[in-house]
Each structure stands twice: as structure tokens, then as C-alpha cells.
Structure 1
Amino acid sequence: MTAPTAAKCLPTYLVVDTSTSMAEHQDLLNGLVDHLVDAIGNSPRVAEFAHMSIITFNTAPHLVLPMSDIERVDRLPDITCRGATNYGAMFRLLKVRIDADIQELRDSAGRAVLRPAVFILTDGEPTDQAWSTDFGDLTDQQWRRRPHVISFGFGAANPTVLGKIATKAAFLAESAATEQEAIMTMITSLLKSLVASASAAEFTIPTKVDGYERVPIEYVD
């Protein structure tokens, strides 16, 4: 059992849509993810509190970065964009990884693990049909390790779907924002959220994100 005095840890998952429609933003995504990792690594307080994993998804999900102490990450593999926008397999992978990551953080690292945080960035609607069942499994109230989920959408993202794949907050880029600005703002918001969470020693999210409008959370049947 983890001792009550163990240091708190927030397992954080950045989940990025890398379907074909994101191809024009591939270089930007790689640059911003590198910047995010560098920024966390250069902030010892945040790096100590928030361990991070990066998952991309298109036709299949891909574990780009296993759950890591960011201060120990030297290099990230390149993100590539192609294929469809399948949500279901991504939610299934998230559940498997959360189970494994929490166990590792508790048993090997000796950390007091907070409920995980998942930040999803997408520019379109899912191309698979049964994803809501997988999302329901991921966020099942009976599963003690269920994550907080925050969704960010831009481009052709459907606000109704964004509301259904979030448990904490859902944001849609306003029409005036360019897609590049929307992506940069989302990464900046994630970083600010982790800084605030590290200061509070608990998960904290912004109530407002510049360039985005907040959309209602909806619950799948």
C-alpha cells in the first residue's frame, strides 16, 4: 500500500487525433509536443507532480510516449498523420494503459496517484460507430481508476461529440480562430492546467480558454 505521506502524482495523457485531416498540421504538432515536454522538464515542480504519456490515434491508436517522468525524456518519436479517426480503439488502449501506469506508479515509484487526466485534441468526428461503449467502459463510475477527460475540438469537430467524450470540460475552437492557433492554444492550456495543478497539489482546469467556447458535457446512453 502507498504510504499516506507519499508524493502525489497526476498521470496525464495527451491524446492527439492524427488522422489524414491533420496531415497539414503534422510539423506543428511535433514542434508543440516537443515544446510541451521541454517546458514541463524545465519546471521541476510540474515535472515532479505530473507524469505524462502521449497517445495518438487514427485508424489505430499508437503509444508515442509511455507514462514517463518528463525530466528523464531525451527524445520523442515523430508524430505522423494518416488514416481514419477511430475513437473506440483509442479509448480501449487508454483503459489498458491507465491500469498498467497506475500500478507502476504506485508499486515501483511509490507515489500517491491521483485520478488520471486525459486531454483529447481532435479536428473531426469519429469514423467508427460503436465508440460510445468503449468510452462508457473508460469512464464507468464503478471503475476506481476512471480518468477525468477534457476534450478540445477544432475544424470539423462536432460539439455534440466533444461533449460526449468529456467528463470534466469540453471546448470548441471559435470560428475566428485558425486551426494553427487552436492547436497552439490547446497545448498552452494543457501546460497552464498542469502548472496550476502542481501548485494546488490537485487536478485543476481552466474555466475559460482563449479562442475556444465551452460546450455542454453530454452523457452517452
Structure 2
Amino acid sequence: MEQVLPFYVVCDESYSMLDNIDALNDGLRELHTAVGSDPVVADKTRFGVIGFSDDAEILLELSDLSEVTQMQGLAVKGGTNYGAAFKLLRQTIDGDVAKLKQDGCRVYRPVAFFLSDGQPNYDWKTDYDALIDPTWKARPNIVAFGFGDVDHATIADIGTFKSFVADNSISPGAALHEFAGALTKSIVQSGTNMKDGEVNLQVPDEVPGFTQLKAEEL
């Protein structure tokens, strides 16, 4: 039975990303090349992209990157609606997991890399709570990245596995390139180390230009 670990990248496309969107797109194209050209990793992982601003949309349906000829780029739009992103992510995961299982795949808990550079303009808590609902078997492990004007506490709350914020040691464009590099490493290492019935999610503890946030004890 084919084993599949789904990865999603959920990226802010709000207007504040104007100066940095090209660097992020370059990083995603490099990810496509690295993962798509590795038959072992491409066979065991799937990758999808969701962009959000005032609303959210699927930019790349969950795919085997070896079969994707070109990555659709992110494009700068309007505001910052976290809730729309979380709602669409849950709906997308539901549909993707059902399809993969129908195709006879053994599906592992999805991983979502969330990236934002600003404050949300809309309420998002309800949709986020639905996304991480412990009674929902397919709830994703979330790795959150923030830079620019993000609130550190918000990014820490969103990440269920790890959370990072830019530390301004490098330019925002370079930091976004490192974000894409960390995502690539996570996919490659996690896919490479998958064994029958066992998956260990691999996410770097250190990402150049970012500081890992520690979860607060309640």
C-alpha cells in the first residue's frame, strides 16, 4: 500500500507582502525542483499551496511534485484573513484525504506550513479551532512562520508543532528564501525517513533569520 504524507504551504498574499513576494516565489520554485526531482521523496509526499488575503484560494491542488510542470506563483492582493485560510485548509484536507484513501493510499497526518507578515484583519479563532479540533482525525501539524509586523504571541498560538519569527538578522527577502529552504528540508527528510507504518516529521530547529518561539506553559 502506498504511503503518503501531505504537505501544505499556506501563504499570506496581502498587500504588505509586495516587496517580498518574488523571493518567496523563487524559493517555492526551488522547492519544486528539489522535491520533484527526487523520486523517493516525490513518491511518498504530496504538496499543495493555499494563498490568502481578503479570502483564500487553492493555488496548487495537492500534487505529486514530480508530475507538476510549473508552480503557480503567489500574487499580492488585499487584506489579511487568517480565518479564510484556516477554513479552506480544513475543507481541502478533508477532500484530499478522502481521495487519497479512495485511491488505496495509506495517509499520514498532514503538515501545514503557515506564513504571514502582518496582523489579521478578520476574526479567525473559530476557523482555527475547527482546524485543530482534537476530535478531527485529519487535523494537521502546523509549523508557523511570522515576520514583519506579526504579533509573536499569535504566531506562537498558531503553530501546533513549531513556531518561528524573523529576527531581522537578514533581509525579509532572504528570510523568506530560508523559509522555503526549511520547508524543502522538512519534505525531503520526512519523506526519506518514512518507514512502513512509521513517519517522523522532520522540521529544523534552527532556520537562518528566524528565532524559534517556545510554547508557554499554562
Shorter-chain TM range is over 0.9
* Structure 2 counterpart of 1:213, from 211, 214, 218: 211
Output the TM-score relative to the length of structure 2. Answer: 0.93
* Structure 2 counterpart of 1:77, from 72, 75, 99: 72
* Structure 1 counterpart of 2:105, from 76, 88, 111: 111
**1:53-202 residue pairs with structure 2 within 5 A?**
53-108=48-103, 110-128=104-122, 130-201=123-194, 202=199
Output the TM-score relative to the length of structure 1. Answer: 0.92
SS of 2:88's equivalent? helix
SS of 1:171's equivalent? strand
1:119-167 per-position Cα deviation (integer Å, ceiling 9, x unaligned): 0111111111x20111110001010010000001111121101011110
**Is the 2:24–2:180 Cα contact (8 Å) retained in structure 1?**
no
Q: Displaced runs of 4+ in structure 1, greater than 3 A?
A: none
* Structure 2 counterpart of 1:28, from 23, 26, 32: 23
Task: Give unpaired runs (5+ residues) of structure 1.
Answer: 1-5
1:58-114 per-position Cα deviation (integer Å, ceiling 9, x unaligned): 011010000111111112333210100000011000000000000111112x21100
**Is the 2:23–2:174 Cα contact (8 Å) retained in structure 1?**
no
Give 1:37 deviation, angstroms: 1.1
Shift in CA distance, 77/193, structure 1 to aligned 2, threshold 3 Å: closer
Same amino acid, percent of matched pairs: 33
What CA distance in whole angstroms lies between the structure 2 residues aligned with 1:32 and 1:185? Answer: 8
Aligned equivalent of 2:41: 46
Give 1:32 deviation, angstroms: 1.9
What CA distance in whole angstroms lies between the structure 2 residues aligned with 1:11 and 1:24? Answer: 30
SS of 1:24's equivalent? coil
What CA distance in whole angstroms lies between the structure 2 residues aligned with 1:178 and 1:158? Answer: 19
What CA distance in whole angstroms lies between the structure 2 residues aligned with 1:178 and 1:84? Answer: 23
**Is the 2:146–2:165 Cα contact (8 Å) retained in structure 1?**
yes
Count of aligned residue pairs for this structure pair: 213
1:154-188 per-position Cα deviation (integer Å, ceiling 9, x unaligned): 11121101011110000011122210111000000
RMSD: 1.6
**Is the 2:13–2:77 Cα contact (8 Å) retained in structure 1?**
yes
1:175-214 per-position Cα deviation (integer Å, ceiling 9, x unaligned): 2221011100000001111111012212221222222111
What CA distance in whole angstroms lies between the structure 2 residues aligned with 1:213 and 1:111? Answer: 36
Give 1:43 deviation, angstroms: 1.0
**Is the 2:26–2:177 Cα contact (8 Å) retained in structure 1?**
no
Task: Give unpaired runs (5+ residues) of structure 2.
Answer: none
SS of 2:18's equivalent? helix
**Is the 1:166–1:217 Cα contact (8 Å) retained in structure 2?**
no
Give 1:218 deviation, angstroms: 5.9
Shift in CA distance, 145/61, structure 1 to aligned 2, threshold 3 Å: same
**Is the 1:15–1:121 Cα contact (8 Å) retained in structure 2?**
yes
- Tell me which amino acid in the other structure corresponds to 2:117: D
- The worse-fitting range, judged by mean Cα deviation, of 210-219 and 92-101 is 210-219
